[in-house]
């Protein structure tokens, strides 16, 4: 019997949300083939993450242990280790998340093995000795049905497309350590410095994102968005226009070429909603558009809308939120 | 130290708010669309121009595409790139494996005829296919180090440090040259071509190469739109008067 090897990433002591989604995606393929679901992670796997892997139905969890993988490893080295493990196991499919890091690692695995890699898949099933799959194009406004012929299926799962769900019966999640024989030359690319933004809530994981576009009008105009985001425990995002005008850092940009977010609520202030922006926020559970133009694509596609000037609404909203906090 | 830099770009349609497909669902209907390159690639072109401006050297833009893709090469030249190379194909789309193999062949041809490229820059991913892999495949085929998501490049002697954003901050990588980098938007603000650049670009010689196509293992069945989930927008009011209704929404979502 063959198996599916899934690249798993940790978020502190637990399995990252993206990796749980990816395991759920990979499990449907494992079930269709009748294959075992394996997971691989870099470094020791903490108990809480092991519990997550069991819940996802993982039969075997591989911990990649090597001093070249401690801390300063570049994706190339991680990919070399995963390729080595794959050679040992003979996996029928290798699946990673469509996150920046995992996608980069998977591309290195694809280059090493010279196998095709289908990026950002939403569905996959065995068919005609290969696989039929659906993948995302144009950041998600289009889908492509593809037939893949290969000895091994290399896939990344599109972020926010599969809801993480526990397996009907938990897996054994037997823990195996794997020490790859990494080539010293891989160490020529390495991380020499890491810095945390320090405090604040990251855009990618914030429960609410208050985002501003052309309508905000200036860098200073974002002050009121910052205030509202802080009150609600959220993060501030922006559109490409705001970045190109130098009002915000590109790290705050939501969109196809920025960050894809999936908060409980996305508040788009003065953003018209071009495709480039829409694909970055369309996975939000709820979207509220605040815009002076009732015909703006952002307004017509949002769940909720307020027609009006954000510079009038947001100060009133901050006061309203503070009042409700005071009363509650 | 002077730098010899190659930038790879891809001609893609510039779709509006809605993408229209051809009747056979194999392509985007581009009858009424202009063409461009992805914002990441525009930034890669700008970065090459800036690096050569600062350190000296030479820059080349390369693309794999139909003859009309010359337009994207000339745009890059109008921004300050020195040379253009077209790996000429028919109208068909080439997948990531086929594209990477043809680019690798072309780079080896160019390097056999001239200088080695110290840096080869790609966009982090193309706007249309979003394969996230062509640059990495080319780097492996050429046996050069490669990193993705790059938002700053600082060359020093025979090395370069490259910076990228990660979830909770940034990390800096150190690579020996020659190297390959996949560039992310945000590294710079691409310039608007000046008149002189546009005149130069019109007259620039484009070198043409003919590629070999290898089968990549992926066959398109069809393109389609994802199901539309959103039916009707619920209006919460106008202007400042809508504040209580919006606050009520915050409560409903569990933020208050």
Could you read off the pLDDT of A129-163 as tens digits, one per residue?
999 999 999 998 999 999 999 999 999 999 999 99
Q: How far is CA A80 from CA A103, A154, A167, A186, in A?
A: 14, 15, 30, 8
Q: Order of strands, edge to edge, in the sheet holding A286-291?
A: A235-238, A208-212, A265-269, A286-291, A304-307, B234-238
The answer to whether A306 and B242 are in contact (CB under 8 A) is yes
pLDDT digits (tens, 9 = 90+) for B59-115: 999 999 999 999 999 999 999 999 999 999 987 889 999 999 999 999 999 999 988
Q: Look at residue B136 in the predicted model and tell me its pLDDT.
A: 98
Positive/negative CA dihedral, B36, B42, B44, B47:
positive
Chain A contact for B131 (CB, 8 A cutoff):
yes
B184: closest CA of chain A, how far (Å) = 7
**Average pLDDT value for residue range B179-203:** 94
Share of chain A above pLDDT 90, in %: 86
Res. B135 pLDDT band, cuts 50 70 90:
very high
Q: Do B225 and A265 touch (CB under 8 A)?
A: no
The whole-chain average pLDDT of chain A stands at 94
The answer to whether B208 and B150 are in contact (CB under 8 A) is no
Tell me the C-alpha distance between B127 and A137, whole Å. 8
The answer to whether A278 and A272 are in contact (CB under 8 A) is no
Chain A contact for B249 (CB, 8 A cutoff):
yes
Helix ranges restricted to H, B131-233: 134-142, 195-203
pLDDT digits (tens, 9 = 90+) for A77-91: 999 999 999 999 999
**DSSP β-ladder status, A190-196 and B169-176:** antiparallel
Bridge partners (DSSP) of residue B220 are: A146
Q: Does the pLDDT of residue A123 top 90, yes or no?
A: yes
**Average pLDDT value for residue range A252-262:** 94
The answer to whether A3 and A9 are in contact (CB under 8 A) is no
Chain A contact for B181 (CB, 8 A cutoff):
no
Quote the strand ranges of chain B, DSSP E. Answer: 3-9, 12-14, 34-36, 57-65, 83-88, 119-123, 146-156, 159-166, 169-176, 179-183, 206-209, 218-224, 234-238
Res. A198 pLDDT band, cuts 50 70 90:
low
Share of chain B above pLDDT 90, in %: 86
A265: closest CA of chain B, how far (Å) = 7
ipTM rounded to 2 decimals: 0.95
Q: Does the pLDDT of residue A327 top 80, yes or no?
A: no
Tokens of A30: 């494992």
Partner-chain residue, chosen from A104, A232, A308, that has the shortest CB–CB distance to B250: A232
Q: Assign residue B251 a region: left if phi > 0, alpha if psi is -120 to 50, beta otherwise?
A: alpha
SS3 for B82-120 is CEEEEEECCCCCCCHHHHHHHHHHHHHHHHHHCCCCCEE
Q: What is the pTM of this model?
A: 0.95
Residues in chain B within 8 Å Cβ distance of A118: 218
Res. A199 pLDDT band, cuts 50 70 90:
low
Residues in chain A within 8 Å Cβ distance of B250: 208, 232, 265, 321
Closest to A97 (Cα-Cα) out of A144, A45, A20, A156:
A156
Bridge partners (DSSP) of residue B151 are: none
Tell me the C-alpha distance between A144 and B245, whole Å. 40
Q: Look at residue B19 in the predicted model and tell me its pLDDT.
A: 87
For residues A44 and B231, the model is more confident at A44
Share of chain A above pLDDT 70, in %: 98
Residues in chain B within 8 Å Cβ distance of A240: 39
Residues in chain A within 8 Å Cβ distance of B137: 107, 110-111
Contacts of B141 (CB under 8 A, 6+ apart): A111, B100, B101, B104
**Average pLDDT value for residue range B133-159:** 96
């Amino acid at each position: 019997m063959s198996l599916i090897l899934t690249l798993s990433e940790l978020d502190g002591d637990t399995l990252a949300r993206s990796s749980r989604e990816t395991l759920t995606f990979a499990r449907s393929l494992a079930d269709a083939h009748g294959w075992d679901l394996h997971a691989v992670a870099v470094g020791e796997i903490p108990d809480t993450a092991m519990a997550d892997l069991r819940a996802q139905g993982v039969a075997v969890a591989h911990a990649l242990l090597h001093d070249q993988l401690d801390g300063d490893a570049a994706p190339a080295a991680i990919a070399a280790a995963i390729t080595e493990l794959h050679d040992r196991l003979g996996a029928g499919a290798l699946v990673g998340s469509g996150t920046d890091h995992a996608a980069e690692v998977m591309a290195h695995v694809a280059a090493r093995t010279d196998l095709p890699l289908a990026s950002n898949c939403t569905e996959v099933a065995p068919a005609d000795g290969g696989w039929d799959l659906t993948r995302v194009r144009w950041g998600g406004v289009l889908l492509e049905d593809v037939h893949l012929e290969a000895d091994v299926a290399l896939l990344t799962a599109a972020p926010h497309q599969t809801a993480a769900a526990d397996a009907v019966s938990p897996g054994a999640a037997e823990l195996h350590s794997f020490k790859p024989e990494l080539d010293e030359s891989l160490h020529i690319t390495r991380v020499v410095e890491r810095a945390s933004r320090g405090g604040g809530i990251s855009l990618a994981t914030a429960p609410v994102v208050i985002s501003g576009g052309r309508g905000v009008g200036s860098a200073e105009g974002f002050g009121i968005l910052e205030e509202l985001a802080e009150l609600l425990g959220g993060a501030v995002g922006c559109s490409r226009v705001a970045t190109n005008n130098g009002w915000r850092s590109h790290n705050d940009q939501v969109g196809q070429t920025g960050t894809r977010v999936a908060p409980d609520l996305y508040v788009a202030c003065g953003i018209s909603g071009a495709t480039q922006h829409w694909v970055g926020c369309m996975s939000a559970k709820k979207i509220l558009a605040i815009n002076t133009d009732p015909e703006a694509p952002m307004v017509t596609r949002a769940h909720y809308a307020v027609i009006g000037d954000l510079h009038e609404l947001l100060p009133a909203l901050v006061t309203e939120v503070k009042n409700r906090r005071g009363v509650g | 130290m002077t730098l010899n830099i190659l930038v790879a770009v891809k001609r893609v349609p510039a779709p509006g708010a809605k993408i229209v497909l051809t009747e056979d669902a194999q392509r985007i209907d581009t009858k009424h669309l202009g063409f461009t390159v992805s914002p990441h690639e525009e930034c890669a072109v700008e970065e090459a121009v800036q690096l050569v401006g600062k350190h000296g050297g030479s820059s080349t833009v390369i693309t794999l595409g139909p003859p009309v893709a010359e337009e994207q090469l000339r745009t890059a030249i109008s921004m300050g790139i020195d040379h253009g190379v077209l790996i000429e194909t028919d109208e068909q789309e080439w997948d990531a494996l086929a594209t990477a193999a043809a680019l690798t062949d072309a780079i080896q041809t160019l390097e056999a005829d001239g200088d080695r490229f110290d840096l080869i820059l790609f966009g982090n991913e193309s706007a249309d296919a979003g394969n996230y892999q062509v640059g990495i495949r080319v780097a492996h085929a050429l046996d050069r180090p490669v990193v993705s998501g790059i938002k700053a490049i600082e060359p020093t002697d025979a090395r370069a440090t490259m910076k990228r954003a990660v979830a909770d901050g940034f990390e800096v990588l150190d690579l020996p040259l020659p190297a390959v980098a996949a560039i992310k938007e945000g590294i710079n603000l691409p310039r608007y071509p000046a008149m002189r650049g546009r005149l130069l670009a019109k007259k620039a010689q484009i070198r043409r190469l003919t590629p070999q196509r290898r089968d990549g293992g992926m066959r398109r069945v069809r393109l389609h739109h994802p199901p539309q989930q959103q039916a009707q927008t619920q209006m919460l009011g106008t202007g400042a008067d809508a504040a209580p209704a919006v606050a009520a929404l915050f409560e409903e979502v569990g933020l208050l």
